Chain A
Amino acid sequence: MHLNSNLIFRDFAEGIFLLDETGKITTCNAAASAITGYQDIDITGKPLYAIGDGHDDPIKYRYELDQALKRRKFVAEGWKLRKDGTRYWAETSYSPVFDESEGLAGYCVLLRDITEQKNKQIGLLESEERYRLMVEAIRDYSIFMLDPEGNVVTWNEGGTFIHGYAESEILGRHFSVFYTAADLLDDKPQKKLQMARDNGSYREEGWRVKKDGSLFWANVVLTALFSDRNALIGYSKVTRDLTGRLKEEEILRQSEARYRSLVEQVGDYGIFMLDTKGRIISWNEGARRIKGYSAEDVIGKYFSIFYPEEDILNGKPGWELKVARATGKYEEEGWRLRKDGSRFWANVVITAVYDAEGRLSGFSKVTRDLTERKMSEQALQESSDKYRQLAQELSVANNELSSVNSELEQFTAIVSHDLKEPVRTVRSFLYLMDQHVDQQKFNLLKPSIGKGILAAQRMHELIDNLLHYSQISKSGLQRQKLDVEEVIGEAIQNLNDAIEQSDAQIRVDSGVPFIYGDRVQLVQLFQNLLANALKFTNGRKPEVELKSWMEDGRVRFVVEDNGIGISPENLEKIFEIFRRLHFASQYPGNGVGLAVCKKVVERHRGTIWAESEQGKGAAFHIMLPKI
C-alpha cells in the first residue's frame, strides 16, 4: 500500500476541510466530522461559516480568506457550534492551496477543538483577575510591584490612600520617591532592594514620605520575586501606615516619660519604688538630694539602709511594709539616715502599689526632709518660750513697777496729807500768834505755842516712821537661817518694859524650829504684833499666845490676843500706813506698826491677815515660805 494524499487526508487525526477557491466546502475528513458532528455530504458546497457559531458572517469570512491568501496562513480562534448545538472552542487555521500554474486552487482548513486548553487558560485568568482585584481593592495596605530596577509596575488603592499617588502618577516611577531625603543620602532604597534580593525579603519600620511631602511611620515588607527559573523578576512591596499606632504609643511613651522625668526631677521629695521585698528599684533627684545616695548606690538594696540601727533591730522597716500592705498606706515622721550617716527628720509615706490584676507589685515611698522645718519649729518654740519668759519677766517687772508706783502714790498721799497737816498746823498757830501779838493778847500766846510745838513734834515722829517704813522696802534682805525661838525671844526682850507695865502673859509655842529670813525685820514683825496685843486692851490683863506650825510646806505663825478685837470692815484697813482706828488720846500710835508688818511679810514672800470676833480678841496670821 502506498502512502498517498488521499489516505493521509482520510486518516489524519486533525480535522481537515478542503475549500474551493470561493471558500465553499468540497470535502472534509473523518476527524473533522468527529469534531463538528457534520458528515461530509451535509456540508459540501456550503461556506465554512456554516459550521461556525450560528451567526453567518460572510464579510468576516471573506476577510479571513483574504488574510490567509495574503499571508499564506491565518489562524482564528472562537466558539463554534456542533451539529447537536453544543459549543466548543475552535482553532481554525487557513492555508491557501495553489495549482501548478500558481493559480489559487482552494483552501485547506485545519480545525482543532481546543476547548479544554481554553478552559484551563480562562480559569487561570479568572484567578489572576480575582487576586488583582483583591489587591487593588485593599485600602489598608499599599501593595505594589517593582521591576528588578525598583520601578513601580502595579499599584493599588491602598497605595493611593497611603502614599497619596494615583496609579497613573506613580506607575513607572522609581520607588525611592517614598523615601526621606536623609534615607536617599544613605542610598537606602538601593540597599533595601539588595537586602531583599539577598535574603528573600526585608522588613522594617521607618519614616516614609507621602506625595504631599508629609511623613508617615511605615511598616514595610519588601519581597524579592523570582521566576521558576530563579531569575529576579521584581519585588513586591507591602506598606502599612502605623502613624496612628505610633501616635498612641508615642503619647503613652511621652506620658510615661513625662511622669518619669517629673518624678525623677522632683527635688524636694524623695520618690522611689520598692519591690515587694523592699528592695529599691527606682530613684529620683529628691531622694538623691535628701539621702545623699546616687541611683547606682541604692538600686537593688533594701530600703532599711535609711533607718537608724535601733529601728533595724526592732524590725521597723519590715513592719512598715507590712502595715502598708495591710492598710494600703504607712505614714510617719521619724529620724532617717543619710549616706554620710547624719540624721534627718523625715516625713515618710509608703504606699502599696498593685498591678492591673490586683497583685502587689511593690511600694512607692515618698520621703520629705522636715529637718529644717522641725528646726525652725523648734527655734520658733524656743523663741516663743523665750518671749513667754521675757513676757513673764516683763510682767514681774511691771508688777514690781506698779507696786513701786503705788508705793510712790501712797508716798504722795502721805506727803500731801499726813506730813502737810502738822506743817499747816504749826503755820496756822504762828499766824494766830501773830494776830495775838498785833492785838496785844499776850495771854493767848502760850496755848498756841504749846499746840505749835506738839504739831512740830508730831511731824518729827511722822518723818521718822516714814523713813523707817521706807527703809524696810529699800534695804536688801539679809536672808539667813534663824532660830525661831531666838527671834521671838528678842522681840519679847525689846518689849520688856511694856510687858512688865501691863503684867502681860505671853505664851510661845513654836512648832517650827528654824526659818530663813532677815533677822532684824522678823524681830520687828513679831515686836510690832506683840506690842499691838499689849496696847489694844480693854483694861484687862493681856494674854498673848504665839504659835507656829508647818502647813502645806509653809510656816504659819499666829499671834492671838484677848484684846478689843477688830470689827470686820476694818480687818484690811488696819494694814494701811498711817491708818488709825482710834484717837491718839485713847490708844496712842502713829499708824505705821501694821503697815511695817505687812511690808516685812511681803518682802519674805508671805501673806499676813487678821481674824477677829468682836470682843474676843484678835489673831494675826502669817504664812511664810520655809526657805
Chain B
Amino acid sequence: MKTFRLAIVENDEDERFFMSEALRASGEFQILGEFGNGDQLTEWLYASPKELPELILSDLNMPGKNGYDVIDELKTTHPDIAVFATSTSSVVSTREKCIRAGARDFIAKPDIFIVYDAFVAELYRLACRYLGT
C-alpha cells in the first residue's frame, strides 16, 4: 500500500496534535514535518531537506504566512508539491477560492478535532486520486 510523504501546516497546537496522531495511526502517511505557519514551512523548504513532501496539508487561518500564502508561494517555488487546504469553514466559496489560488483540493476540518479518522481517509482517497497509488 502506498504511503504519502506529508508536511502539516497548522497553527493550533492541540489541533495539530490530534491531526498528526490520526494521520500516523492510519499508516498511510509519512509525516516529514509539522509547522505553525507558512513562514516556518518556507524556512524548512529553503533549508533543502533530504526528502521533500509529496503533499502539504495546510490550514488557512494562521498568523504570518497563512494558507493562501502557502498555496501561492509553493505554486512557483515547488509546483510539484500538491497543497491540500483545510479549514473549519464549510462555506463553498472557501473551497473554490483555494482551488482557484492553486490548491489541489480542500477538505473541511472535522466538527471536533479529536475525531480525525474520516478526515484522514478522505485525504488519502484524494491523494491517491491526484498523485496516483
Contact = CB atoms under 8 A, between A and B. Distances in A.
Chain A complexes with chain B: yes
B112 A428 contact: yes
Interface string B94-133: 1000000000000001011111000000000000000000
B19 to A, nearest CB: 11
A417 B109 contact: no
Interface string B40-75: 000000000000000000001101101000000000
B63 A580 contact: yes
A397 interface: no
B87 A417 contact: yes
Interface in B1-36: 11-12, 14-15, 18, 36
Nearest to A582: B63
A580 B94 CA distance: 19
A182 interface: no
A216 B36 CA distance: 122
B77 interface: no
A431 interface: yes
Contacts of B60: 417
Contact of B14 (A412, A417, A428, A579): A428
B113 A428 contact: yes
Given A416-B88, A417-B60, A435 B114 contact: yes
A421 B61 contact: yes
B123 to A, nearest CB: 18
Given A416-B91, A425-B14, A428-B14, A584 B111 contact: no
A412 to B, nearest CB: 6
Contacts, number: 61
Interface residues of A, number: 25
Nearest to B14: A451
Interface string A300-332: 000000000000000000000000000000000
B114 A431 contact: yes
A-side interface mostly: helix
Given A420-B89, A451-B14, A583-B11, A431 B63 contact: no
A414 to B, nearest CB: 10
B43 to A, nearest CB: 13
B64 A424 contact: no
Nearest to B36: A583
Contacts of A591: 63
Given A418-B61, A580-B64, A583-B36, A431 B112 contact: yes
Contacts of A583: 11, 36-37, 63-64
Given A416-B94, A431-B112, A425 B89 contact: no
Contacts of A417: 60-61, 87-89, 94
B109 A424 contact: yes
A404 B89 CA distance: 21
B94 A425 contact: no
Nearest to A587: B63
A388 B93 CA distance: 35
14 contacts: A413-B91, A413-B94, A416-B89, A416-B90, A416-B91, A417-B94, A428-B14, A428-B18, A428-B112, A431-B114, A578-B61, A583-B11, A583-B63, A591-B63
**Lowest 8 CB-CB distances: which A-B pairs, in order?**
A580-B63, A416-B89, A428-B112, A420-B88, A428-B113, A416-B91, A417-B61, A431-B112
Interface of A: 409, 412-413, 416-418, 420-421, 424-425, 427-429, 431-432, 435, 451, 578-584, 591
